[in-house]
Every structure is written in structure tokens, then in C-alpha cells.
Chains A and B, each alone.
Chain A
């Protein structure tokens, strides 16, 4: 009893006094790493785009595939993970009354492990010892140091995941009978999915290390590929939960509205956690060795994942409509114009949401069984993930920085910085429309992804792709400009903006909403259901691969 009075007092003190400086330091460190990584990854992206269109020749010591490996790993893994941790640790700190001292230690340990891992990975890539791309499919064999580096990155993320679990459970113990703050619930979903989703790929990488060292003669190629995609697919939905956490909780406050339904938001998180991992085969629809039935099961699971997103679409639009009508919007769609389009904290996530309309639609196409043959490994896929992660996820992240960074740094978001943010958002959007748009189209014409500049001997159809590749390069140039502005904005807000108080936007529920039922907090049940569904989708094929797998492949280096 006394403990919980102390807790409540500490929480109120925190909210009154603003961010805990020790916690802020953690988040700012992670965010700094994130945006430095974004800058490097973005530069690599433009280098790639120019080379791909035949507009740039790389020096002898740097080939396209090294650049591609680095661009992928730095942005998909390092940038997203460090941003996520910086952001969600701030969320946990703010909504749960501060981080526990041991959780802070775990966050710092996590950062150290991740940085060590990144250094090892980047060194091997620069030495051309790991030109295996972000997916590192065996029998392509990188230096063992590359895989060891990846293990350290994952261990760092696990450290932060466990820290989050500890802090969350501590709050629950001291608030028996209460549901957790919604924002913290989202964070819990993210870290649960991160931990469980990465077990498969960790097992894979741990088997690759002895193989690349020569201690194990052969590797089972299908098992490796399958374990990778059990993670690779989950990762994108992890990003999605991170992004929608801001849509559900922060945006309502920013636009002067209310959270549409606390309970529905939690149900969406639970569905995403349970249904996610067993969709990995939609990346393997045209693989040999997997029966059509098992593939179709995964295809069905992947399609079912669209459902929480469709629920989200309704909830978010409803939240907008209620807020817009309260601000005087009339008629069927008048509320739309009443939203604060000039506020970058709204504009960026809003464009992110709109981008998910074609982005998610493309995903449904990709997972539609044999329709996958039209687009697999073509530039269409590249267009797809640039619009989904590059706009929906990343533009939401950018939008978050405009309140999160000033909040953590005890500074203000100035009107000038807001305007710069709006400009950056527009540049980013235009760049992505050109780049992702042309990628979608040229992919349908057959242009392959992950391929250095080529016309396949001046073949007529390959030559027809080149104009689209010019458009991609143009889009990519705008994007790098956007990256530079965004990185500048983040560090400006962190160190140079005028001092002051910035609000942490926490949406409130509608007045007469029924309280959220406590059963939503039964994480042990959700985890069990998740594991059961994973077993349903993976046990049969993986056992099949292992038992009927044949001798396997030795390490091969083709670069």
C-alpha cells in the first residue's frame, strides 16, 4: 500500500517536473545514433540509386553489393531499432513514472552491444568480406565476424526488450486491478514481438557461425531461409506497431481530439502480436521444397494480418472525423480540411497513413499466392517496401521527433523549425512518389531488384527500364536532401533550440467510454497463443526440411 502511494507520488512528480534527466539521456543517445545512421544509410542509398541507373561508376574498392548490404542493414536494422528504443523508452519513462535503475543499466548495456555489433558488421562489409545483403542467404558465406556482429546487435535489442518487460511488470505489480497506460501497452507489444520474432533468426545465425568458420561442413539452406523470414517478416509488423502507437495515442492529443477506443487499440496490438510470425512464407511463395498447402496456409495468415490494419483505418479516420467536426467541419468530408495540416507533428504522420493505403494494398497483392510470380524479386518489391517502411514508418518517426526531441531536451519546437519540418515532409513525399512510383512500374515490366547497373547486353526490354531508373535516381536525390534536413532538424532541436517546455502528447479517452477490461493485460495468454500459431505454421515444414533435407551446402563465396 505504502509502495503504491510512493509510486503514484513519483509518477505525479515526474509528470509535473517533466522528463527524468537520466531517462532522457538514454533516449537522446539512442536517437542520436539513429539519425547518424540514417544519414550514412541515406547517402549510401543515393549512391546506389545513381549507380543503378548507370549515372555513377563506383571506385574499384567499393562495389554495388557492398553498398546495398550496408544500406539495408543500417536502415532496416540499426536505424529502426535505435529509433524504436529511444522513442519507446521515453514512452515507458513518461507513462510508467520513470525507468527503474536496473532498466536504465540494461538500456546502456544494450546500446554498447549494438554499437559493437554495428562496428563489426560495417568493418566486414567495407572489407568486402560480407557482400551478402541484409538477408545473407546461405550458401553465400560471409566472414564469421559479420555474423558475430549481427548477434551482438540482436543481444543489444534483447537487453532493451527485457528492460521493458521488467519496467512494465513492476508497474503492474504496483497497480493491481488497473490496465497499463495505452502507450506502454503498445511498447510492450513491440518488445514482445521483437524478442520472440528474433529467436528464429538468432538460431539461424548461430548455426551460420560454425559453418562459416569451417567447423560445420554443410548448412541446410531451406531451414536457414525459413528461419530468416520468420524474423524478417515479423520485423516489418514491429515497425508498424511502433508507428501506430503514435497514431493511436499521440496524434489525438496533437489535433485536439480523443483516442477513438482504448480497447480497440489494445485488441489491434494483441492481434498483431499473435498473428504475425506465421506469415513468413509469403517471402517464399516461389521456393521449391514447400508444398502448395503449407504455402497457402501462410498466405492466409498474411492476409489475416491486413485485418488489424483495416480496423486501424476505421479507428483513425473516426478519430479525425470527431476531432474535425468538433473544430467546425461540416458536411460529409468537411472535417478533413479542419485538421492541422500546417503542424508537422500531424502532417508527417498523416502522409504516412495515406501512404499506407497503396502500401498495404501492394502487400495484399504480394501475398496473393501465385500473383506473387508477377512481382517477386522485381523492383515492385523495392517500391513496396520504400512506401511502407520509407513513408508510413519513417515519416511517422520523423513526425514524432518534432515533439519528442524538444521534450527530452527541455527545449521548444519553434514555428521556424515547424515550417522546416513541413518542407522536409513535402520533399520526402515528392521524392518517394517519384522513386517508389517508378519502382512499382518498372518492376511490373520485369526489372529485377538487388542488381547492379546492367542492360543485359543491351537487350531491348532491359533498355526500356532505364528511363524509370533515371526517375528513381531523381527521387533518391530528393530523399537524401530530405534526410539531410531531417538530421539537421533533430540535432538542432536537441542542442540549439530555445529552452522551454514541450508537451508529451498523450491522447485521452472519450468521456463516457467504458473502462478497458483487464483481460487485455493477459500477456501470458497472448504469448502462448502466438507460440501455438507459430508451431502450427512452421513445425511441419521445418521438420520436413530437416528430415528430408539432404546433405546441405558448403560455404560459397561468389564475390
Chain B
């Protein structure tokens, strides 16, 4: 193999491995991995299964909240959420029907919410403002209407 080609392949492989090391370290040492919750639920019994029998915003600590949320074509329950600035919020979610996506525009909050599965994602809302929450996985004729807001005061 041509010497320059060897150098090229070694260098580019090295950069790719560096990328993997960075995101791998963040995931496995710093807990920054993608939302990967592994609990199951009967998708036809969501309203009767705790904690989804009582969805809403719950305070669980000093500026720590849990939002227990169900997603359904075409809305989020609870909607129009309000939290104080600096709040660390964990969203615990499931779908009552088809696959939905939970995205808060302008943040890293982006998680698939699937029927039969409980998904979790956590975010600290440092900046005040009104955040747009939307469903980013096609879920039917009203998909483009499926949105709500999170207001951080």
C-alpha cells in the first residue's frame, strides 16, 4: 500500500476512534447517554397503570421535578407545563396509541415514545422562556397539531 495511503487511513481511523471515545466517555462515565429506559407497560392499560393513572407535574426535590406524561394522537397530557428556572425535570412518558416523538425545540430533549414502553429523559431548564414541545414522529392526520409548551419562569 502507498505510504501516503497508510498515513491517511491511520489518521482518519484515529479521528473516528477519538469521536467514539469522546461520546463513549460522556455516555458511560458521565451519564450523558441517549434516553434508553427499559421498563415495559401494557399499551392498552396505560390509564390504569401507575404512575400514568395520575399524569402531571410533581415536585420531587429542591427544584427537581418529575413530569409523568402520556402521549396520544394528537396531544400531550399534561400540557402547558410550568417550572421555575434552574429546575431539573425528568420526563417519564409512554404512548397510549402509536409511536410518538417528544422534542423540545432548542434543547437536547429528543426521545422516542413507544406504546408498550416507558421512556425517560432529564433536562435542567436554566434559561427562562417559553419552549415549544412537539411530536416529531409521524402519528397520523393531526401530527402537525401535536404540540404544547413548557414555560420556565
Direct chain A–B contact by Cβ atoms under 8 Å:
yes
A307 touches B13 (CB 8 A): yes
B16 touches A554 (CB 8 A): no
Distance in Å: Cβ of B38 to nearest Cβ of chain A:
6
Pick from B5, B24, B98, B117: contact of A296, CB under 8 Å: B24
A370 touches B23 (CB 8 A): yes
A552 touches B116 (CB 8 A): yes
Q: Which of A288, A373, A451, A552 has the most CB of B within 10 A?
A: A288
Give the number of A-B contacts (CB < 8 Å). Answer: 210
A residues less than 8 Å from B2 (CB atoms): 318
B103 touches A448 (CB 8 A): yes
Please tell me the size bucket of the interface on B: 35 or more
From 5 to 31 in chain A, residues with beta carbon under 8 angstroms from any chain B beta carbon are: none
Distance in Å: Cβ of B22 to nearest Cβ of chain A:
8
B residues less than 8 Å from A206 (CB atoms): none
Pick from A222, A369, A452, A552: contact of B33, CB under 8 Å: A369
Given the known A-B contacts A292-B28, A558-B97, are A311 and B9 also in contact in the complex, defined by CB atoms under 8 Å?
A: yes
Tell me the bound Cα distance from A287 to B37 in angstroms: 8
Pick from B23, B106, B120, B140: contact of A559, CB under 8 Å: B140
B36 touches A376 (CB 8 A): no
B105 touches A292 (CB 8 A): no
Does B67 lie at the interface of the complex (its beta carbon under 8 Å from any beta carbon of A)?
no
Distance in Å: Cβ of B92 to nearest Cβ of chain A:
11
Does B40 lie at the interface of the complex (its beta carbon under 8 Å from any beta carbon of A)?
yes
Question: Could you give, for residues 4-29 of chain B, a 1 whenever the CB lies within 8 Å of some chain A CB and a 0 otherwise?
Answer: 01001100110010011001101110
A369 touches B27 (CB 8 A): yes
Does A291 lie at the interface of the complex (its beta carbon under 8 Å from any beta carbon of B)?
yes
Distance in Å: Cβ of B13 to nearest Cβ of chain A:
7
Does A137 lie at the interface of the complex (its beta carbon under 8 Å from any beta carbon of B)?
yes
B residues less than 8 Å from A370 (CB atoms): 23, 26-27, 32-34, 108
Does A289 lie at the interface of the complex (its beta carbon under 8 Å from any beta carbon of B)?
yes
B interface, CB within 8 angstroms of A: 2, 5, 8-9, 12-13, 16, 19-20, 23-24, 26-28, 32-38, 40-44, 73-74, 97-99, 101, 103, 105-106, 108-120, 130, 132, 134-145, 147, 149
Please, could you name 30 A-B residue pairs with CB atoms under 8 Å apart, sorted by A? Answer: A131-B140, A139-B43, A139-B99, A221-B99, A221-B115, A221-B116, A221-B117, A222-B114, A288-B38, A288-B113, A288-B120, A290-B38, A296-B24, A296-B27, A300-B20, A303-B19, A304-B16, A310-B8, A310-B12, A311-B9, A369-B34, A377-B110, A446-B132, A456-B132, A459-B132, A550-B43, A550-B116, A553-B43, A553-B44, A553-B98
Q: A370-B26, A451-B138, A454-B145 are in contact. List 17 more A-B contacts (CB 8 A).
A: A137-B137, A139-B97, A225-B99, A225-B114, A285-B34, A288-B117, A289-B37, A295-B34, A300-B20, A372-B34, A376-B136, A451-B143, A452-B143, A456-B134, A551-B43, A553-B44, A556-B98
